[in-house]
């Protein structure tokens, strides 16, 4: 039996790194590009080594597994990088929002500034254990499943 674990880890690693790096992660604005790519990569690697035809269910499962691994990598790599670099993507988004809705941009800016005043580990845990992270996890798994 061909193992799904290795392709899922590789796809998740690619997905997590690309989704976790500042500015590179903006590729996910284009229909979750890096997430779908990670799911598709995991499936491609599995199909390439599989001696038997692979059905859609197996591809979806691989995408789902890659999505879980990708989110873990994103949290382990992306959150600390964002904290250490001062949340550059968030500031980029605030500047865009400022043109559309200054009041909403100010509320978002205040939230980021409040978060940045906390110590590193407090910022890390506040970022990881939030409702936003749960929503991003769900979106990541769904789009990676589609990619698979």
Question: How far apart are the C-alpha atoms of 103 and 51, rounded to whole Å?
Answer: 57
122-136 pLDDT, tens digit per residue, is 888 888 888 888 998
Tell me which DSSP letter residue 117 carries: T
Residues 28/86, Cβ–Cβ less than 8 Å: no
41-75 pLDDT, tens digit per residue, is 999 999 998 888 888 999 999 999 999 999 999 99
- Asked whether residue 120 carries a pLDDT value surpassing 60, the answer given is yes
Question: Which residues make Cβ contacts (< 8 Å) with residue 100, sequence separation at least 6?
Answer: none
User: pTM of the entire structure?
Assistant: 0.80
- Rounded mean pLDDT of 30-40? 90
Radius of gyration of the CA atoms of the chain, in A: 17
What angle in degrees, to the nearest 10, is found between the helix axes of 56-73 and 131-147? 150
pLDDT for 1:
46
């Amino acid at each position: 039996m061909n193992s799904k674990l290795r392709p899922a880890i590789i796809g998740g690693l690619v997905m997590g790194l690309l989704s976790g790096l500042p500015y590179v992660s903006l590729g996910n604005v284009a229909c979750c590009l890096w997430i779908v790519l990670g799911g598709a990569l995991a499936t491609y690697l599995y199909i390439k080594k599989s001696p038997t035809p692979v059905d859609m269910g197996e591809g979806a499962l691989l995408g789902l597994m890659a999505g879980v691994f990708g989110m873990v990598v994103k949290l382990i790599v992306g959150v600390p990088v964002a904290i250490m670099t001062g949340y550059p993507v968030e500031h980029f988004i605030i500047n865009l929002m400022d043109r559309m809705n200054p009041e909403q941009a100010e509320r978002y800016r205040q939230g980021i500034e409040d978060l940045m005043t906390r110590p590193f580990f407090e910022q890390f845990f506040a970022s990881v254990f939030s409702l936003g992270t749960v929503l991003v996890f769900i979106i990541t798994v769904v789009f990676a499943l589609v990619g698979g």
